[in-house]
Chains A and B, each alone.
Chain A
Amino acid sequence: MNRRSFFKNLALSKDSIDIPQKARINALEKFQGTWDKETRLHLLRRTMFGCTPAEYNSVETKSLDEILDILFAGITLPEEPLAYTNSGSITAGNPWVSAAYESGSEPQRLTFLQSWQINIVLKQPMRIHDKMVLFWQNHFATGAIVVKDARYMYKQTTLLYQQSLGNAKDLVRYMLFDLAMSRYLNNNTNTKSNPNENLSRELQELFTIGKGPEIAPGNYTHYTEQDVKAAGRVISGWADNQSKVSLVFTPNNHDTQPKQFSSAYQNTIIKSTANTEISAKTEVDDLLSMIFKQEQTSLYLIRKLYRFFVDYVIDDSVENYVIKPLAEQFRAANFEVKPILRTLLSSTHFYSNTVRNCFIKTPADLIIGTSRFFHPAGLYPEELNLMHWANRTLRRLMGNMGLDIMNPPNVAGIPAYYQEPSFHELWINADTLQKRIKFTNDLSIDHLQLDEMDYTKGPLIDVIQFAKDSGDPTDPTVIVNYWCDWLFSMPISETVKNQVKDFLTAGSPDYEWTVKWNVYIADEANTPQDAAIVSAVEKPLRNLIKYLLAMAEYQLI
């Protein structure tokens, strides 16, 4: 078989599904359609980790702009993480990020830090920042167990919280001087005599301009191997000082010779004016100006944001009508993130049917979103130690599903965010689907097993309360409708709703459920309640919620 025609067939079979063009001209124009509940929830679910009825109700009367104002409002930075248990010289309940490094307590401190971030997102107010931090954490993927100093990771995470909606160019500059990044990509060993290209390469391949087709050996269209070497020399001479917890410049380790870049960067030459820290920083500014001047940098970053908030499929129409104009706006706004994100999230395209309900929940959307939605008491304990175990468990579960915060699989971050052509589908395979369903099963019926805790007392969804929230729990149809409305972003057919109602009625007429419920209510004030009466309503409700949460629809927003 002719190889070329074989490729063609291959390409066709992979992309043969006929999806009409996703975006239209003027896709970025402001959304003028009906601003109803589903539309509001679309925005809230894509920008926060789940959305509770109470949260929704608080913005029910608000316009698109008003809701965006809330989501984008300035934030107060999270408080310092504490030692959840005694750890080395730090006693439980005390901060440790300003204390000296202790190698023995390092693994424990990292778990404190991860729990701290889980705790922040579990209690997130209505804001976009928590999701943006996750975006940047993946974009500037840094592996904590390589960095080996949780204080460095803390600094990076706080910085990302501070700057999550700030300026992308500034953020890249911060990362070039970030302690954790310096260690993770070995720039702390990048010296004049022993160049290390690692950070320089990823700066271009992953953080800014992205790799184009390799049109000649070592020439990736947007940059070349020469540029990797040249940029590496620009950022040479900086190393972390662990006792000072700061980055230190050593003039003798900095390469002061002129750095010649390739024609991909218009043959730019970056020169050192003096062998000083100030001059070396100016060189980095020149480097970033050179990189950000290239159109590809804004296109690369905008595509990544689009995939994070909208959909991973970028066809020609999206490229032309969404990515390109937004990238232009990004350049005009000098790489400020807030305005372009606002444009995207107010756009006609963002609310169009083509991109609704097609976003596979990340493990964070699923785990944090579900936890926030049902707010089971066991996941929100007051006591510090218990809080740690609850947070740690959720972190572990997310990690097992492919999103381990502060532990990316490699420098590119998580494959679901970058791996063509499957992207988000990589979140779901036979292994992770089971883990997702086990998580919701446990919360529905089996008790979620928290690390180091008594299994039988693990958290459960309060199904009785959720049934009452429906307004008329005596009517099984009302319960099913209300639950489906809140659990799924897409409509559920009447056929399915009728089928699942059977969990409550067991095939009998609806009033059988009404009778059971009324018996339950009559008994509710008694202490203790009658176990058989409770079970008669609780068990069917648990089976119903378990089934609904295991439906494929629950994995989409």
Chain B
Amino acid sequence: MKRRSFLQTIASVSAISPLIINGFNVKAFEPTNLFTLAGAIDCDDRVLVLIQLNGGNDGLNTIIPVDQYSQYYAARTSIAVPENTIIKLSDTTGINPEMTGMKSLFDQGKLKVLHSVGYPTPNYSHFRSTDIWLSGSDTEEYFNTGVMGRYLDYRFPGYPSTYPNASMSDPLAIQIGSVLSTGFEGPHANMAMAFTDPTSFYNIVNEKDITDTSSRSGLELAYIRKVGEQLNNFAKPVKNAALKVPKNVSSLYPAHTFNTPNPLSEQLKIVARLIAGGLKTKIYMVNLSGFDTHSSTTNVGFGVNVNHANLLKQLSTAITAFMDDCKLLGIQDKVLGMTFSEFGRRIKSNGTGTDHGAAGPVFLFGNSVIPGFLGTNPIIPDNVSSEDNIPMQTDFRSLYSSLLTQWFCVPQKDIPTVTLHNYANNLPILQGISNSVKHESLNPLSLQLSLFPNPILHQSQLQIQTVYPIADIVLYDRTGKLMSTISGYIPEGNHTLLFERVGLSAGQYYLQARLINGYTQSIIVNIQ
């Protein structure tokens, strides 16, 4: 494609494309060689373990941009991790010193760090943002169902009435705990089963009396009976699986005591046993609470002081032990894990904590991940204000679409049915993707952006030199809100784009370019 004709096709500041967002819409991903994973685990045997970090994890103290340490320190002096204690994952990026276990997983190529995962218009309410993450909606959309619930309904149509059956005798999804996530809410029922102890189940009275489901009273009665029925149906396979693997094997699990609680590790221990015991359950969900760190110490668990660093330690220890256990139990190839939180936190500290923020890091762990990073350190500007947020680099819906396709083998054509959106499913996150360029082979010179003049009065020229194709170029404001898509796909080479300030008020913005392998680069744009 000639440069001139290419330039004509892109508007200077255009609305966000409604078709394929946050992905690589040109030369779209053809999932032909997708499933040639090492170990060749059948799609149906794969298990996803989701770890929800409730409260909004402070991403900047989890994955630390050591290349901008002075800005980082200036913005959050009261809570900054001391520079000499940070464990480096690369020359530019570090991890919290409490997360030694995850550092070694990273070194072994079993951990992928996704920088700045979020959505275009951040919402700062825990509940709304949790709803958004679990339902996969836009900020202004309201779904009654969860993304996992819709996937399970797509994969196991007719649930719950015709289940268990010969093809699926086990719970579709399991939540370890007493509260069922709304993420499992399907069109007809919640698709998951919650329990805390897989070895002791009660046999529920099986009442045959007719219920009148035309009244509120009858409906609630039917609901309670249904839960009892589900319990009776699924208790046996769960119990059998747990008894088949009566003990965890890894010696790395921490003790869970009053003074050093690790509730997450206790939950993951159950998950490992059930997977190893042969349950065909597709998704497990566990969680760790206490991340709402408005001030430095938050009490959680058994009621002892636990601060953010300690929570990260719990997370790291639990995941490391779980991975070790999976290896020893011989299930390591079939397990993929992911952490997420409803939002990250503000860049600037506020006393001894931080307020609710926008994008934050996501961890993917398992033998199948493409090791390393997706995306790049967020920019920490000088003179950070309390409004400043981290803009997203990866839309979480794109991550869902990619997991659905690359892990659960959902064809591209069915992605909209499950996600109710059309986000790209080709993020380079799991092995087996053809044409993926290893992120580690990239450096800032692979992609060079320069804007002149900057500050912009009316218009500027954006000069681009890239050795790989660019997926998209987008503009965020300083609160992390997506303002516009400047360009979609751009092939490798040198290009010049005209950047007009149309519709933008004076202030600072981030211009972010993303390569098709997920590598991103941002520059600060000043509008006069």
Contact residues of A with B, CB < 8 Å? 1, 3, 6-7, 9-11, 13-14, 17-19, 22, 107, 110, 143, 145-146, 148, 185-186, 189, 194-198, 201, 205, 211, 213-215, 217, 225, 311, 313, 353-360, 400-402, 409-412, 415, 418-422, 424-426, 428-435, 437-438, 441, 490, 493, 495-496, 547, 550-553, 555-556
Contact = CB atoms under 8 A, between A and B. Distances in A.
Interface in B189-226: 190, 193-196, 201-202, 204-205, 207, 209, 213-217, 219-221, 223-225
B128 A211 contact: yes
A1 B382 CA distance: 47
A13 B188 contact: yes
Interface stretch (B3-11, B21-29, B290-298): B290-298
A123 B223 CA distance: 32
B417 A6 contact: yes
A189 B215 contact: no
A205 B235 CA distance: 40
A279 B220 CA distance: 52
Contact of A429 (B180, B209, B235): B180
Best-surrounded residue of A189, A429, A550 (most CB of chain B within 10 A): A429
B144 interface: yes
Contacts of B352: 189
Interface string B112-128: 00000000010111111
A556 B214 contact: no
A110 B304 CA distance: 12
B217 A556 contact: yes
A360 B220 contact: yes
B298 A146 contact: yes
Contact of A10 (B145, B235, B355): B145
Given A426-B180, A430-B194, A493-B209, A355 B224 contact: no
A144 to B, nearest CB: 9
B195 A434 contact: yes
7 nearest A-B residue pairs (beta carbon): A358-B216, A145-B299, A552-B224, A357-B217, A189-B351, A186-B294, A358-B217
Nearest to A15: B144
B123 A214 contact: yes
Nearest to A184: B294
Contacts of A432: 178, 194
Given A214-B123, A410-B55, A434-B195, A10 B180 contact: no
A410 B54 contact: yes
Nearest to B232: A430
16 contacts: A6-B417, A11-B144, A13-B188, A189-B295, A195-B386, A358-B217, A400-B178, A409-B179, A410-B54, A431-B196, A432-B178, A434-B204, A434-B231, A547-B205, A552-B205, A555-B224
A429 B350 contact: no
B355 A197 contact: yes
Best-surrounded residue of A13, A186, A438, A552 (most CB of chain B within 10 A): A552
Contacts of B144: 10-11, 14, 420-421
B102 to A, nearest CB: 26
Given A411-B292, A552-B205, A556-B220, 13 more contacts: A9-B187, A10-B144, A14-B188, A19-B214, A189-B353, A217-B481, A354-B216, A358-B220, A429-B178, A429-B180, A437-B202, A490-B221, A550-B205
A553 B221 contact: yes
Contacts of B386: 195
A360 B227 CA distance: 13
B121 A211 contact: no
B109 interface: no
Nearest to A10: B187
Contacts of A409: 54, 179, 289
Contact of A110 (B224, B303, B356): B303
A185 B126 CA distance: 13
A14 B294 CA distance: 37
A19 B221 contact: no
B227 A430 contact: yes
A550 B204 contact: yes
A195 B180 CA distance: 35
Contacts of A213: 140, 142
A540 B417 CA distance: 54
Nearest to A547: B205
Contact of B204 (A186, A433, A553): A433
Given A189-B352, A196-B355, A415-B179, A430 B417 contact: no
Contacts of B353: 186, 189
Interface of B: 54-55, 121, 123-128, 139-140, 142-145, 177-180, 182, 185, 187-188, 190, 193-196, 201-202, 204-205, 207, 209, 213-217, 219-221, 223-225, 227-228, 230-231, 234-235, 289, 292, 294-295, 298-300, 303-304, 350-353, 355-356, 386, 416-417, 420-421, 481
Contacts of B481: 217
Contacts of B125: 201, 205, 211
Nearest to A216: B140
Contacts of A311: 216
Contact of A552 (B127, B196, B225, B234): B225
B126 A412 contact: yes
Contacts of B217: 356-358, 490, 556
A359 B216 CA distance: 9
A146 B54 CA distance: 15
B414 to A, nearest CB: 10
A18 B224 CA distance: 19
A548 to B, nearest CB: 9
Contacts of B126: 410-412
A118 B178 CA distance: 21
Contacts of B300: 145
B225 A13 contact: no
A533 to B, nearest CB: 29
Nearest to A110: B303
Contacts of B145: 10, 14
Contacts of A495: 209
A148 B296 CA distance: 14
Contacts of A313: 216
A213 B353 CA distance: 29
Nearest to B219: A17
Contact of B292 (A400, A410, A415, A552): A410
A493 B350 CA distance: 62
Contact of B195 (A412, A426, A430): A430
Contact of A217 (B121, B231, B355, B417): B121
Contacts of A425: 220, 223
Contacts of A194: 350-351
Contacts of B420: 3, 6-7
Nearest to B234: A430
Contacts of B298: 146
Contacts of A553: 221
A428 B230 contact: no
B338 to A, nearest CB: 22
A205 B129 CA distance: 13
Best-surrounded residue of A10, A411, A415, A420 (most CB of chain B within 10 A): A10
Nearest to A355: B216
Contacts of A359: 220
Given A196-B294, A196-B351, A360 B303 contact: no
Contacts of B215: 19, 353-354, 358
A433 B227 contact: yes
A432 B420 CA distance: 31
B45 to A, nearest CB: 24
Contacts of B213: 17
A390 to B, nearest CB: 21
A357 B300 CA distance: 37
Nearest to B414: A1
Nearest to A552: B224
Contacts of A3: 416, 420-421
B348 to A, nearest CB: 9
B214 A18 contact: yes
Contacts of A6: 416-417, 420
Contacts of A185: 294
